[in-house]
């Protein structure tokens, strides 16, 4: 029907407070608050009322965790599965349309964000799809890394980091801005946004230092 992450994401897109959602759905603010904080169970009728209120405001619900405004190419991915959903979209998009993936994972190395299973899958998919991947970060990986022929990594200094300021994934006319502290990813489909972010990336990429991966930590790529 609708889950907590979708409810919060939809309110964020619309800029609604809990009271405004309560007014639109015919429920009390307390009921909305209890639902979002998991303080109590909510009836199916109430979930339906919440969903109808959002849909009346042109909100569209996607899969289990996705949400976006119908009139805009913006999707909010939130919760524990947000990164999985983003990676799935990357693989599907690169399979059909694009052969380039740009990752600016600035708070730590990209591969350190992934589980060992996700690392293996990502390596396999990138190789299978023939995607040219470039990764910027402020640190070298602390987990076993993967040295792929079509992957290049560079390290930013703290000064250069401040020029970018956010974790961003750029691919197939899409830009995903990752808010790790909120467990939320804002995914925008826009050629204009894609080109602007890529141009900014290229300027900073030219300042970054290449990463040379030790041979003994490349075993995952061969498994």
Evaluate if pTM is beyond 0.85. no
> 178: helix, coil or strand?
strand
The pLDDT of residue 150: 82
What is the rounded CA–CA span in Å between residue 149 and residue 5?
38
Residue with tokens 């930013």: 156
How far are the Cα atoms of 144, 146, 147, 150, 191 from residue 216, in angstroms, in the given order? Answer: 9, 10, 10, 19, 40
- C-alpha to C-alpha distance for 168 and 102, rounded to whole angstroms: 8
Enumerate the CATH 3.30.870.10 domain ranges in the chain, comma separated.
79-222
Residue 17: predicted pLDDT: 92
Report pLDDT for 160. 66
Q: Average pLDDT per run of 10 along the chain, which is 223 residues long?
A: 89 90 94 89 91 88 81 78 87 79 76 77 86 84 59 79 74 88 84 88 88 49 47
Question: Using CA atoms, how far apart are residues 65 and 63, in angstroms rounded to an integer?
Answer: 6
What pLDDT score does 26 carry?
A: 93
The predicted structure's pLDDT at residue 121: 85
Report the CATH architecture of 79-222.
2-Layer Sandwich (3.30)
Q: CATH 1.10.260.40: which residues of the chain?
A: 4-72
Helix (H) / strand (E) containing 210: strand 209-210
- Is the separation of the CB atoms in 186 and 76 below 8 Å? yes
CB 25 within 8 A of CB 53: yes
Which pLDDT value is given to residue 164?
60
pLDDT at 158: 67
What does the pLDDT read at residue 215?
Answer: 41
* Residue-level pLDDT at 213: 52
Contact (CB, 8 A) for 9 and 78: yes
User: What are the C-alpha distances in Å from 37 to residues 30, 31, 54, 209, 220?
Assistant: 10, 10, 19, 44, 40
What Cα–Cα distance (Å) separates residue 203 from each residue in 12, 150, 163, 192, 198?
Answer: 32, 21, 10, 17, 9
Q: Cα–chain-centroid distance for residue 86?
A: 5
CATH of 4-72, one of 3.30.1480.10, 3.20.20.120, 1.10.260.40, 3.40.50.150: 1.10.260.40
């Amino acid at each position: 029907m609708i889950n907590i992450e979708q409810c919060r994401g939809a309110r964020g897109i619309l800029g609604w407070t809990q009271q405004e959602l309560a007014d639109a759905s015919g429920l009390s603010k307390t009921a909305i608050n209890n639902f979002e904080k998991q303080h109590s169970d909510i009836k199916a009728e109430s979930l339906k009322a919440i969903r109808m209120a959002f849909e009346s405001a042109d909100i569209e619900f996607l899969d289990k965790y996705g949400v976006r405004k119908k009139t805009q190419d913006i999707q909010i991915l939130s919760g524990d599965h947000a990164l999985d959903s983003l990676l799935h979209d990357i693989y599907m998009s690169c399979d059909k349309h694009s052969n380039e993936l740009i990752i600016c994972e600035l708070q730590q190395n990209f591969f350190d964000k992934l589980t060992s299973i996700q690392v293996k899958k990502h390596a396999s998919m990138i190789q299978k799809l023939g995607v040219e991947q470039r990764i910027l970060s402020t640190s070298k990986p602390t987990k076993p890394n993967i040295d792929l022929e079509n992957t290049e990594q560079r390290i930013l200094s703290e000064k250069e980091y401040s020029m970018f300021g956010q974790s961003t994934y750029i691919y197939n006319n899409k830009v995903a801005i990752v808010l790790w502290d909120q467990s939320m990813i804002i995914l925008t489909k826009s050629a204009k946004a894609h080109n602007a972010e890529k141009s900014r990336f290229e300027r900073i990429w030219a300042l970054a230092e290449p990463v040379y991966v030790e041979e003994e930590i490349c075993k995952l790529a061969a498994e």
